[in-house]
Amino acid sequence: MYKRLFKRIIDIILSFCMLTALSPIFLVVYVLLAFANGGKAFFVQKRPGKNEKVFEIIKFKSMNDKKDINGELLPDADRITSVGSFVRKTSLDEIPQLLNVLKGDMSLIGPRPLLISYLELYSTEQKRRHDIKPGITGWAQVNGRNTISWQEKFEFDVWYVDNCSLIIDAKIFWMTFLKVIQRDDVSSDTHATMETFIGN
């Protein structure tokens, strides 16, 4: 009953309240990133959601689009702007995803929506992470986020799919708040964001 009905009701109420409360910050970040990124404040990308249905995720754009002499994008570490770095460390780049939650593409809590190109790389067990709506934060995010391996991350995701409940979601919500305040686990040990998943 919780996953089928109450989770969605809570998502709508909380995301609307959070978006309203954060609207002044939303506007300030939008203006700062628009200046830093040549007028582009948002990052929009297609991601697989529940049952692998594709939707467009929206985030604040923390990296510019600078390219090398071959026309390829520079590494993440070279493209993160000073404003973007602050936005990422404070998780402010996630605020626009509240719109995805209101639309019903995402939930506040669930496995993070990853790249479409990863779909063909998952094992049968790992694909189960798509049995539930993706979230802005999740069990993997509060247990290491970008500092844990892909294998560990997927294990946490599947565990959440099997154990989703109001109590678990409340725990994740509180742990996420603490992580944001402490600015923990934003980057991996070797990358500015997260290493690319290349399969099992």
Q: What is the pLDDT of residues 59-106, one digit of tens each?
A: 999 888 888 888 788 887 778 888 888 898 888 999 999 999 999 999
Least confident of 13-22, 62-71, 107-116, 150-159: 62-71
What is the mean predicted confidence (pLDDT) over 27-34?
Answer: 93
Structural domain contains residue 199: no
Structural domain contains residue 188: no
Rounded to two decimals, what is the model's pTM? 0.86
What are the helix (H) ranges across 118-198? 150-163, 166-182
Q: What pLDDT is stored for residue 193 in this prediction?
A: 59
Structural domain contains residue 50: yes
Q: What is the domain extent for residue 139?
A: 2-182
Q: Residues 66, 78: contact at Cβ < 8 Å?
A: yes
Q: What pLDDT is stored for residue 110 in this prediction?
A: 97
Residue 15 pLDDT class (50, 70, 90 cuts): very high
| Domain tally, the chain | 1
Cα end-to-end span (Å), the chain: 34
Structural domain contains residue 187: no
